[in-house]
Structure 1
Amino acid sequence: MKFLQSSGWSAAAWGLLISALFFTQVVTAQDDGDDTIKSVPLRTHSLSQPYLDQDLQSRWFDFGGDTVVRADQYIRLTPDRQHQAGWVWSRLPLTATNWEIEWEFKIHGQGNLYGDGMALWITKQRALPGPVFGAADNFEGLGLFFDTYKNNRPGVVFPYVSAMLGDGQKSYDHAHDGKEHELAGCSARGLRGSNIPTKAKLTYFQENYLQLDLQYKNVDTWVQCFSVSNVTLPQVAYLGFTAHCGELSDNHDLISVEAKNLYSTNPTRPGPGKGGKARKLRAKKQEGGGWGWFFMKMVLFVVACGGGYIGFVAWKQKNQRSRF
């Protein structure tokens, strides 16, 4: 109270100011917490150390090709040797309508020349070896390619990450690094041999959007590679990871996989990228937060008025005492 008197402000003004600050803080907290996307872990499509059970098997995944599992470190899809190919495929299909898959991986080796790369798959087929980064061509579903060797694609910096939607008929365009049927992609200079944990995060909302984010520059700093609207993937598809080395080679390591089932508590579906979040915020503001938020605003209004009235009474009594 001593500070209030020395500042020259009336008690009424301070009462109104404090009430206004409190009101502003509550409004801000409501906006910052407007994240309506919830998640449920999908154990059937996640992988973590030691990867295998006591019988040296995995309950949820199959391994094949040249894949080597080192329980305390990684699943090595290919070693740094020529003509290697390896794969990991889920045993159960991914049937979630909306999902997010985040995985940590590492592409590295000793040579100055290296290749070819690795891929993530969400396809109707599973565990079929082939020429597309270790998996079969003419796939049906999504192929996501981390290509480290440039064949013939002028003006593009490698490593290059690209996505392709296969319909069972289209072939991957090896000659031009997938350009012919590319859905979206981005250059990721520094992804190979990065000195921080390299991660990718793929988010899918059915018939709405598909988005890929990468972490390879700084820890906890995600870079959006692409975000594509109106994407439809098979409702029943398997999750796979493959890698391939030809005349050139590299280590392609899978460190961990974390899969989640996503759902929104907001009837307004999220859109891709930042725009989706903005739309959710606008929808929330239009709804006004319901009766609970209306009641809170009324309480704050009463508190503000009460603070102002008490301050006015105190000021009036002070002026009356000063007359005598």
Structure 2
Amino acid sequence: MYCKMLNWANLLVFLQFINYISAEWNTRDYVRREHSLTKPYQGSGMSVPYWDFLGSTIVTSNYVRLTPDLQSKSGAIWNTVPCYTRNWELQVQFKVHGHGKDLFGDGFAIWYVRDRMQPGEVFGSKDFFHGLAIVLDTYSNHNGAHNHQHPYISAMISNGSLHYDHDRDGTHTQVAGCEAKFRNYNHDTHLSIIYKDDTLVVSTDLDGKNAWKECFKVENVLLPTGYYFGASATTGDLSDIHDIISMRMYELDLLESQNKDEDRSQIVPSAASFEAPRERTEDSKPAMSGVKTFLWMMCVAIVIIVLVVLGIMWYQKRQETSRKRLY
């Protein structure tokens, strides 16, 4: 009797294990190791399999640091293997932190683009890119009038002809975005980027609850196969630490409606909901604070007093000269 109960218990544990594996498989499909970055990072020597590094990037046992908390730094990591998977999910575990409480920046970006290892002005990577950029902008000193707060997550899809306007936080070329307070947490934060059936879905887990919260969803997005994953970050006059803990790429199954034999390598990156860049307008000048107004008025008063004194002195000297001529 005891043996039967033990066998049934073992069978139950086995079935639960199978169900767990099936559930994990159904929710994440399977990891593509050649497109993933996980601990331990080092391979032979200082190299990391399937990944290259640029700029200020350093590799430790716990994280890949794109930038330190110093001004004017830029770093990047790039996958060495092009992705030929049509449906995929990229989960990024990251941490952005620094000493700044009110002023910090600039931010980082996750890339799926044609050209890798190309440094530039868009959060450490090149402008006029081909592909997808998910921008996590932390720059707290707004570069213009916006209807959102920072930090901010946005998506930009470019065919190589679009310019990321850093002075306007890229709002003129983004396809979607959402506010996301992902900075200075004691726990790691997560980002999910899903591209499936020509639909882009970006979600976050910022509270450490192992639950995704949708940031935005964009349909009718065309991205070709054969592009590269990467991440880059930059600091300017303001700074922050930008750490990548892991990047896991999951291959998702094709839907029945998708043609598995379709050649997607020559598709031009685009999004049906993309709005053409709006005409750039200059920001209105901010009103001066009370202290600045007082100092400005005091300077004007001093200048006026100096001019009056000089005028009186000049007039008195002229009068004195006139009297000397009379005598």
C-alpha offsets along residues 48-82 of structure 1, whole Å, 9 cap, x if unaligned? 11211132212200011000111x21000000000
Residue correspondence of structure 1 range 1-324 to structure 2 within 5 A: 39-70=29-60, 72-112=61-101, 113-149=103-139, 150-189=142-181, 191-206=182-197, 208-264=198-254, 267=256
What is the CA-CA distance between 1:36 and the residue it aligns to? Answer: 6.3
Residue aligning to 1:299: none
What is the CA-CA distance between 1:249 and the residue it aligns to? Answer: 0.4
The structure with more helix, counted as a fraction of residues: 1
C-alpha offsets along residues 27-63 of structure 1, whole Å, 9 cap, x if unaligned? xxxxxx8x96661211011111121113221220001
Q: Is the 8 A contact 1:37 1:263 kept in 2?
A: no
* AA partner of residue 89 (structure 2): E
- 1:154, 1:99 → 2: CA distance? 32
Q: Is the 8 A contact 1:148 1:160 kept in 2?
A: yes
- 1:261, 1:235 → 2: CA distance? 13
* AA partner of residue 168 (structure 2): H
- 1:241, 1:167 → 2: CA distance? 19
Q: Taking every aligned residue pair, what percent have the same amino acid on both sides?
A: 38
Aligned residues: 233
Q: Which runs of 5+ in 2 are unaligned?
A: 1-22, 259-327
- 2:71, 2:106 → 1: CA distance? 10
C-alpha offsets along residues 143-186 of structure 1, whole Å, 9 cap, x if unaligned? 11000013214221110000000110100021211111111110
Q: Is the 8 A contact 2:53 2:76 kept in 1?
A: yes
Q: Is the 8 A contact 2:203 2:214 kept in 1?
A: yes
Q: Is the 8 A contact 2:89 2:194 kept in 1?
A: yes
C-alpha offsets along residues 103-149 of structure 1, whole Å, 9 cap, x if unaligned? 10000001231100000000001010000000000000001100001
* AA partner of residue 187 (structure 2): I
TM-score by length of 1: 0.69
- 2:53, 2:120 → 1: CA distance? 15
- 1:63, 1:179 → 2: CA distance? 29
Q: Is the 8 A contact 1:104 1:199 kept in 2?
A: yes
- 2:104, 2:234 → 1: CA distance? 11
Higher relative contact order (CA 8 A, sep 6+): 1
Tell me, what secondary structure is at the counterpart of 1:44?
helix
CA-based RMSD: 1.8
C-alpha offsets along residues 226-276 of structure 1, whole Å, 9 cap, x if unaligned? 111111112110001000000000000000111111004x6257xxxxxxx
- 1:50, 1:107 → 2: CA distance? 20
* AA partner of residue 55 (structure 1): G
After the TM superposition, which of the residue ranges 77-86 and 49-58 deviates more from structure 2? 49-58
With over 3 angstroms needed to count, the CA separation of the structure-2 counterparts of 1:59 and 1:218, relative to structure 1, is closer
- 2:26, 2:207 → 1: CA distance? 29
* AA partner of residue 247 (structure 1): D
Structure 1 segments, 4+ long, off by >4 Å, are 35-38
Q: Is the 8 A contact 2:189 2:208 kept in 1?
A: no
* AA partner of residue 186 (structure 1): C
Tell me, what secondary structure is at the counterpart of 1:258?
strand
Tell me, what secondary structure is at the counterpart of 1:202?
strand
Q: Is the 8 A contact 1:197 1:219 kept in 2?
A: no
TM-score by length of 2: 0.68
